Amino acid sequence: MAYSEKVLDHYENPRNVGSMDKNDPSVATGMVGAPACGDVMKLQLRISEDGIIEDAKFKTYGCGSAIASSSLVTEWVKGKSIEEAGQIKNTAIAEELALPPVKIHCSILAEDAIKAAIEDYKSKQSK
């Protein structure tokens, strides 16, 4: 299948690949997976005390679209508040990357990764 130029760009030059210490209280970790294709995605956000995402890292095992979706998301969330980041929709990701219908689930995975990371952060905060 032909990937769009934007997918190829993120796939060949992924932004913000890496890991943060998941036990750091200011680090939010979102882990999601897709049983159908076996993709696994980890998104980590460093969040300031006033709730701003200062840095984002990802590691994804999956197809080009899954890698591109998570790479794009790390660019988008930086500088946003967690509320703003939580409003990022998979449709916006799919549109930006021109994902074909069979790859929409990759963008859903990336949206779910943001939500999972925010959940993780909230549960860390309430401890």
Partner 1 sequence: MNYFQLFNIEVSFDVDLQQLSLNYQTLQKTVHPDKFAHASEQEQRIAVQKSAHINDAYQTLKNPLQRAQYILVQRGVAMPNEQHSFQDTSFLMRQMDLREMLEDVRHSGDVDAALLEVQSVLSTEYLQLSQLMRTQLSENNAASNSAACDNLRKLKFYQKLNVEVDRLEDSLLDD
Cβ density class 24-41: b for 16+ within 10 Å, e for less: eebbbbbbbbbeeeebeb
What CA–CA distances, in Å, run from 77 to 3, 52, 102? 24, 9, 25
Choice between 37 and 92, CB closer to partner 1: 37
- Decide if 118 contacts 30 (C-beta within 8 A): yes
Q: Which among 2-10, 45-53, 79-87, 107-115 is the span making contact with partner 1, rule CB under 8 A?
A: 107-115
Q: Which among 30-38, 47-55, 69-77, 78-86 is the span making contact with partner 1, rule CB under 8 A?
A: 30-38
What whole-number distance in Å separates Cα of residue 56 and Cα of residue 53?
A: 7
Choice between 47 and 63, CB closer to partner 1: 63
Q: Known catalytic residue: 63?
A: no
CB 88 to partner 1: min, Å: 15
Q: Known catalytic residue: 106?
A: yes
Residues in contact with partner 1, shown as a per-residue x/- string from 31 to 50 under the rule CB under 8 A: xxxxxxxx-x-x--------
